[in-house]
Structure 1
């Protein structure tokens, strides 16, 4: 079995996009439509493809889903340095992980690839 995707609902899509793209440096996905590769986002959603799985945020004014996201990164120390320089506060951690929060309060645990 393989995890295909996780979808969170958000009332703050533009803030979420800024955080995940500018601060965490995730790239939006793409897909093929009418023989052209197009970005996989709109005013109502954004999809990030993370090592074979889909992380999706869908706009919805009436609900926000809270959960914990765990990311494994190859350059653990360099990644931490980059996101702290981008203004992301590290809440806790050690040499094996660190924890941050996105604009809606979701916990994100970052660990080195094992």
Structure 2
């Protein structure tokens, strides 16, 4: 009659372990850095895998008043590139955690 209770207990333990691993992974994502580039490397943006912008580097050759709009566009492009890379890296790292789990198709963690 209570045969399923052991399975529930095992499932709860797995859920707690997963939550602990998720917390660790989230902390690790903050320490992983990715670099986005634009303008053949003239503008570089470094972000954490969580997407937080850490630094921005602009080649001095771009500092001409008449090129201001171009530089601004390159900055935006570099930041977007870094954020996209950060998002992909975060998905990879979280995918490592859920590897081997029998999750329904399309289900993503954290919920």
Give the TM-score category using the shorter length: under 0.3
When you count strand as a share of all residues, which structure comes out higher?
A: 1
Q: Normalising to structure 2: TM-score of the pair?
A: 0.23
Q: Normalising to structure 1: TM-score of the pair?
A: 0.22
